[in-house]
Each structure stands twice: as structure tokens, then as C-alpha cells.
């Protein structure tokens, strides 16, 4: 029989003089390769997208550095991919072009993106190709998005161009010169559109990356910096958000995932914030866009309950940050073909939802009620509470994330709509086991028990 922690509500509420209204643009998603693997005519797929109800969508995604407007699919030119990327993107690009051809897709995927953005009423971000696209092509893409009545909230100038895969031709000096040229042209026609530039990771201890940030920070032609934070909880060699090798920890199963859990929680509650503080010091509090974020992708943790809890907790914590200069966040990613990255994926011609889908579904309500963040607290070891309200609509929202292996009983009684998402073990994977439990119930004047390894939400109808 499991022991149960009983929690009496005795935490200290944090008050501020100014309201911390939740930024709805933190609930965004990269579309990446979604349009290769899914059709917008697929009702099942679009129903899943509507369940998530994104506020922001980003285009084109993973191959943004090689995207062209004129051409089928993503308009990929294989000779450009071979010339400008040192690693494995050429092989992937060939595969993607074959998939596009096999589907008979002749139209550019920007039109699918526009349709999806309209159907979901999402604001949009455009990740511009500044490697091989002309300025006129970039301006044409922007015009198409705006002419289709989409709210374009920002343009990224390239993607991860500080990465070593581009180091054979891209230096910080070249990046600054190129970015200035594109920015001047965009601002001349669309002065109100925010422009973001590619910063370099600041947690690698690399002099080259440090120099990239220091040189870019001296410039003032841009409005924001782009960062791609991936929480690394698995030891080993990694690149661009993905683990290439995994170093054994000497234990497996529950003991191993307790180690991963501790690292995940530490990242959410302290390491991530320290990264932001460091960026703010370098860039003097410039606005920040998180245009990719996730748990570092690996076979160990991909599609696991650990990843499900991490994703929910990270975005809830992000929403609670006071006086934050993070304007936009887009999760990697909405739909595609990978267990670690995609919430919705195509496998053996069937649509499947991965572990992070219900995490985002349960969190989505946080971003559609004009809520104000009030307080957060650690109500027991590895169990966290967040409280939000909307006074004008008389709404109160609670979120609880229980990372512990024990149930936690809340003594206060609640009335409202409760949602819970949990599983038996952090190492369980949704693709290999019975799907994790996801329940939505109405409760009236009842105590709440937070299941082990669970995400919980309550829309309260009374104090």
C-alpha cells in the first residue's frame, strides 16, 4: 500500500503591486515537418490540433535555413543543403523530397501553414532563410502571410547558425552583416514587425560561442534574441537538442530515472533561470524568444512519462516568471515523425499521440482565460502548486505537478473541473505501454489526491 502525504495549506502567498498577466504567446509550437506527414483534410489530425489550441505557430521549422517559396513542399534545393550544412541534413532532405513527391504535393507548404493558422486563430512567426534566399523572396513570404490576414508577430533571421554544422562558412561577422541587410530591407517595408537574431548557446564553455554572443550584443539593429533551450538530463554527447551518445550512470530503471528527474526539476527551477540571467547580462535585457524548447531528445527519455511531466512543468513555470523579458515560446514540435520531438506523429500510416500531447492539452487552459499569476509554492518534496485567477470572470485555476512516487493529499476541499494526467513509472513510454491515465471530472466540495508522477489542473468554482 502506498503511503500518502497530507498537505495542509500553510504556504506564504507572494503579492506584487502589479498584476502578472499570463503571456499567451508562450503557448506556441513549431510546425516543422507536420505538413509532410499530415494533411489538413485529415479530420482526426486537425481535431488533435484543435484540442491543443495553439496561440502561436512557427514556419517553416527544421529546414527553415533552406526553405524557398517557389517549389513544392518546402522548396528544398539539395545542392544548397549539401553546400551549407556539414552534417546529415542532405540525407534527410533527399528523403523528405521523395516523401513530398510520393504524396503528389505540388504546392508549397506555406499555404497549408496559412490554412492551419487561420483554423486555429494562431499568431505566426516566420523563420527566414538568410543563407540562400534573396531579400525579395523573404519580403514576398512576409507579404503572403500578411495579405492572408495573419498576425505576424516576428521574423527570425536564420536558425541555429552559430551551430558547428554551419561553421565552415558562417562566422559572427558574416552573420551580423547578412542580418543587417535583411533587417534593413524588412524594416523599410514593415517597420512594425519585430526582428530576432540567432544567439549562441551560453552554457557550453566555448570561446567561439561566447565571442558570437559578445559581438552580437554590441549591435542594436534587432529587437530580440532567439535561444533554443533543451534540458539535458542524460549524460553524453549532444548536438542541436539531440543526444548522440549516452553515458551509462551505473544504474537502470527506477534508480536511473530518479537521477534524471532530479536533473529535470533542477533545470526547471534554477538552471534555466540562470541561463536567462546570463543572456540578460550579455545582451543587456534584450527581449528573448524561445523558438525551440524541449527535453533533450534521446531514446532514453523520449515519449516517456518523465518527458510528459517535464514539458508541462516547464511551461507552467515559464508562465509564472515575474518581470520576464521572454516574449515568445514555441515548443519543438507540433507534429512529425519523432518520438522525442513530436506531440502528434505518423507511424505505420496511423496517427498516434505521444506523451507530451496530453501535457500540452492540460496546460492549454492556462493560456486562454486572460489569467493572472498569483503564487507558487513547493507544497511537499517534489510537489509544486501554481495558482492563477481572473477576477472579472470569477475564475480560479490551480496546477499541481507531483514528481514524487507517493500520492499527495490536499486537505482543502474544492469544487470545479479537475483534470489529471499520470502514470506508474517515469521510465514508462506511451508507445510501449498502456496509455497514461488522463481523466477529466467534475468534483464538488471534495478533497484532492494528487497521484504519483502526475500533472493536475483544477478550474475552481469556489474558494
Q: 237 CB contacts (<8 Å, ≥6 apart)?
A: 243, 244, 245
Which cell numbers in the block locate residue 37?
506527414
Query: SS3 string of the chain?
Result: CCCCEEECCCCCCCCCCCCEECCHHHCEEECCCHHHHCCCCCHHHHHHHHHHCCCEEEECCCCHHHCCCCCCECCCCHHHHHHHCCCCHHHHHHHHHHHHHHHCCCCECHHHHHHHHHHHCCEEEEEECCCCCCHHHHHHHHHHHHHCCCCEEEEEECCCCCCHHHCCCCCHHHHHHHHHHHHHHHHHHCCCCCEEEECCCCCCCCHHHHHHHHHHHCCCCCCEEEECCEECCCCCCEECCEECCCCCCCCCHHHHHHHHHHHHHHHHHHHHHHHHHHHHHHHCCCEEEECCCEECECCCCCCEHHHHHHHHHHHHHHHHCCCCCEEEEEECCCEECCCCCCCEEEECCEEEECHHHHHHHHHHHHHCCCCEEEEEEEEECCEEEEEEEECCCCEEEEEEEECCCCCEEEEEEEEEEEEEEECCCCCCECCCCCCCEEEEEEEEEEEEEECCCEEEEEEECCC
At residue 241, the pLDDT reads 57
Q: How many alpha carbons lie under 13 Å from residue 123 in its C-beta half-sphere?
A: 18
Supply the pTM of this predicted model: 0.93
Q: 167 CB contacts (<8 Å, ≥6 apart)?
A: 86, 208
Candidate CATH numbers 3.30.300.130, 3.20.20.80, 3.20.20.70, 3.20.20.210; the one for domain 23-367: 3.20.20.80
First vs last C-alpha separation in the chain: 32
At residue 393, the pLDDT reads 86
Which cell numbers in the block locate residue 434?
498502456
* pLDDT tens for the 463 residues of the chain, in order: 455 555 544 343 333 335 789 999 999 999 989 999 999 999 999 999 999 999 999 999 878 999 999 999 999 999 998 888 866 788 889 999 999 999 999 999 999 999 999 999 999 999 999 999 999 999 999 999 999 999 999 999 999 999 988 999 999 999 999 999 999 999 999 999 999 999 999 988 889 999 999 999 999 999 999 999 999 999 887 665 566 777 888 899 999 999 999 999 999 999 999 999 999 999 999 999 999 999 998 889 999 999 999 999 999 999 999 999 999 999 999 999 888 889 999 888 889 999 999 999 999 999 987 899 999 999 999 999 999 999 888 889 999 999 999 999 998 999 999 999 999 999 999 865 567 999 999 999 999 999 999 999 999 985 5
At residue 462, the pLDDT reads 58
Domain boundaries, the chain: 5-13+374-460, 23-367
* CATH architecture for the domain at 5-13+374-460: Sandwich (2.60)
- Rg over CA atoms, the chain: 22
CA–CA distance, 377 with 170 (Å, rounded to integer) = 45
Which cell numbers in the block locate residue 453?
508522477
- Count of all residues that appear for the chain in the document: 463
Contact (Cβ atoms closer than 8 angstroms) between residue 69 and residue 120: no
My answer on whether omega of the bond before 256 falls inside 30° of 0, hence cis, is no
At residue 124, the pLDDT reads 99
Which cell numbers in the block locate residue 65?
535555413
Which cell numbers in the block locate residue 185?
530591407
Task: State the Cα torsion 370-330-363-10 to the nearest 10°.
Answer: -80
Strands 344-347 and 335-336: parallel
Amino acid at each position: 500500500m502506498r503511503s500518502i502525504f497530507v498537505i495542509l495549506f500553510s504556504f506564504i502567498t507572494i503579492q506584487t503591486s502589479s498584476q502578472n498577466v499570463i503571456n499567451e504567446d508562450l503557448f506556441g509550437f513549431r510546425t516543422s515537418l507536420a505538413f509532410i506527414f499530415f494533411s489538413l483534410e485529415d479530420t482526426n489530425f486537425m481535431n488533435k490540433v484543435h484540442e491543443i489550441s495553439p496561440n502561436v505557430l512557427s514556419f517553416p521549422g527544421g529546414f527553415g535555413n533552406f526553405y524557398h517559396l517557389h517549389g513544392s513542399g518546402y522548396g528544398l534545393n539539395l545542392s544548397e543543403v549539401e553546400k551549407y550544412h556539414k552534417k546529415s541534413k542532405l540525407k534527410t532532405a533527399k528523403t523528405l523530397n521523395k516523401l513530398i513527391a510520393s504524396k503528389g504535393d505540388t504546392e508549397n507548404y506555406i499555404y497549408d501553414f496559412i490554412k492551419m493558422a487561420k483554423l486555429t486563430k494562431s499568431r505566426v512567426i516566420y523563420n527566414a532563410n538568410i543563407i540562400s534566399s534573396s531579400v525579395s523572396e523573404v519580403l514576398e513570404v512576409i507579404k503572403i502571410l500578411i495579405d492572408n490576414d495573419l498576425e505576424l508577430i516576428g521574423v527570425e533571421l536564420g536558425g541555429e547558425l552559430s551551430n558547428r554544422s554551419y561553421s565552415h562558412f558562417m562566422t559572427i561577422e558574416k552573420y551580423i552583416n547578412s542580418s543587417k541587410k535583411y533587417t534593413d530591407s524588412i524594416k523599410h517595408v514593415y517597420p512594425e514587425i519585430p526582428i530576432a537574431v540567432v544567439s549562441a548557446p551560453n552554457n557550453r564553455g566555448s570561446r567561439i560561442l561566447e565571442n558570437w554572443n559578445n559581438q552580437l550584443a554590441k549591435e542594436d539593429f534587432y529587437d530580440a534574441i532567439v535561444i533554443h533551450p533543451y534540458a539535458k538530463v542524460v549524460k553524453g554527447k549532444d548536438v542541436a537538442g539531440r543526444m548522440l551518445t549516452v553515458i551509462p550512470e551505473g544504474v537502470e530503471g527506477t534508480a536511473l530515472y530518479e537521477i534524471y528527474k532530479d536533473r529535470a526539476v533542477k533545470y526547471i527551477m534554477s538552471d534555466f533561470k540562470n541561463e536567462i540571467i546570463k543572456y540578460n547580462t550579455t545582451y543587456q535585457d534584450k527581449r528573448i524568444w524561445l523558438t525551440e524548447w524541449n527535453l533533450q531528445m534521446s531514446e532514453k527519455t523520449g515519449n516517456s512519462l518523465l518527458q510528459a511531466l517535464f514539458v508541462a512543468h516547464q511551461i507552467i513555470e515559464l508562465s509564472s516568471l515575474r518581470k520576464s523579458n521572454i516574449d515568445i515560446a514555441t515548443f519543438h514540435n507540433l507534429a512529425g515523425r519523432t518520438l522525442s520531438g513530436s506531440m502528434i506523429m505518423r507511424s505505420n500510416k496511423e496517427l498516434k499521440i505521444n506523451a507530451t500531447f496530453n501535457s500540452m492539452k492540460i496546460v492549454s487552459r492556462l493560456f486562454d482565460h486572460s489569467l493572472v499569476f498569483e503564487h507558487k509554492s513547493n507544497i511537499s518534496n517534489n510537489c509544486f502548486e501554481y495558482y492563477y485567477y481572473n477576477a472579472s470572470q470569477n475564475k480560479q485555476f490551480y496546477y499541481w505537478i507531483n514528481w514524487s512516487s507517493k500520492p499527495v493529499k490536499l486537505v482543502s476541499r474544492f469544487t470545479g473541473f479537475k483534470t489529471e494526467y499520470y502514470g506508474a513509472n517515469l521510465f514508462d513510454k506511451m508507445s510501449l505501454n498502456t496509455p497514461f491515465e488522463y481523466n477529466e471530472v467534475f468534483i464538488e466540495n471534495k478533497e484532492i489526491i494528487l497521484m504519483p508522477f502526475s500533472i493536475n489542473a483544477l478550474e475552481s468554482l469556489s474558494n
